[in-house]
Structure 1
């Protein structure tokens, strides 16, 4: 008896023979870092950036990158180019890019004036990309590393990446639900909805 293939099986078969779709090329800046156009350009005074983000009803996220970082490129070309990821971050966060080996001036929350590279050393950030999430208001004392409510070092898949932004926005760091438990719960919900396409 003839049984027709399901649409999902047909899509899978056709996908095996389709040419690979190239990643969206994120343009490179003069500093060699990939540029996502909706990242904020600021004077990198962290307290001012926190306040500016709050005035927009958003949170501040700082992303450390370096020239030639393949994981940074993947973050720009795959994760930040994904409309679901980009739309959520743009709606809820102000993102400021830092060059781990850069010389642009940075003002820490404790008032220290540094360069990007000395700030990265002071705060202990050694991986790229590293995304640092700051509190809703400047703490009034301490450093960025001490004030950060969460830090995401390294490259992750779509749902880990996006769920960290959601967890911070939902103030998960103030609750008893650790990020890993939050992430597992969201993944289970996505599976139940049939929306899980990664991780």
Structure 2
């Protein structure tokens, strides 16, 4: 499974107060648009899918729609989550690709909503995050096309992207998974570098 070097939004009191107080900060410069805030303090995209968070059922639902299931873990006050929504997911090139190819379900890193793991264990969002080893927000988890016969989400995930990245890295990760790059010999970093080199050869601007 592919993992990225994390860019954390940790829960410690000092960092949470200083780095993750996004809900208390003024609008970020260059913000594309304001994002709706839910009662749980998480930013909401209108195209996120609300489910009962039974992961096996969600994989099957996504598959029936010709899509892949993605879980996004966020937390209240996370400035990196806010940047992801306002600067990355607001971009039509990114959002249109994700909507066409993925079913996205949002999880609250410290939430209490019920979750059913692939192994049948009933958890809460926060205990699921601990069980699966997710400690950064945002963390984006890519699931396989079909639910495995055994194992948990952390074992089944084909790729995990923790932290906030620029548009091209972010979008290329979704493209790489859609193309099943994790089954081939070309690691994501090489895939990403190849696309950047191609863009430069075509005279296109590359920002990340």
TM (normalized to structure 2)? 0.84
Match of 2:89 in 1: 80
More relative contact order, 1 or 2 (CA 8 Å, 6+ apart): 2
1:153-168 matches, cutoff 5 A = 153-168=162-177
User: Which string of whole-angstrom CA distances, capped at 9 and with x for unpartnered residues, describes residues 124-147 of structure 1?
Assistant: 000000000000000010000000
* C-alpha deviation, 1:21, in angstroms: 4.8
2:193 aligned residue (164, 184, 190): 184
* C-alpha deviation, 1:105, in angstroms: 0.4
Residue 124 of structure 2 is aligned to residue 115 of structure 1: yes
Unmatched tracts of structure 1, length 5 or more: 1-19
Tell me, in whole angstroms, the C-alpha distance in 2 between the residues paired with 1:184 and 1:85.
18
Give the superposed CA RMSD: 1.0
Judged with a 3 Å threshold, the aligned counterparts in structure 2 of structure 1 residues 22 and 144 are, in CA distance, closer, same or farther, namely closer
Match of 1:36 in 2: 45
TM (normalized to structure 1)? 0.88
User: Which string of whole-angstrom CA distances, capped at 9 and with x for unpartnered residues, describes residues 11-61 of structure 1?
Assistant: xxxxxxxxx754311110000000011000111000000000000000000
Aligned length: 180
Match of 1:8 in 2: none
Q: Report which of the two structures shows the higher radius of gyration computed on alpha carbons.
A: 1
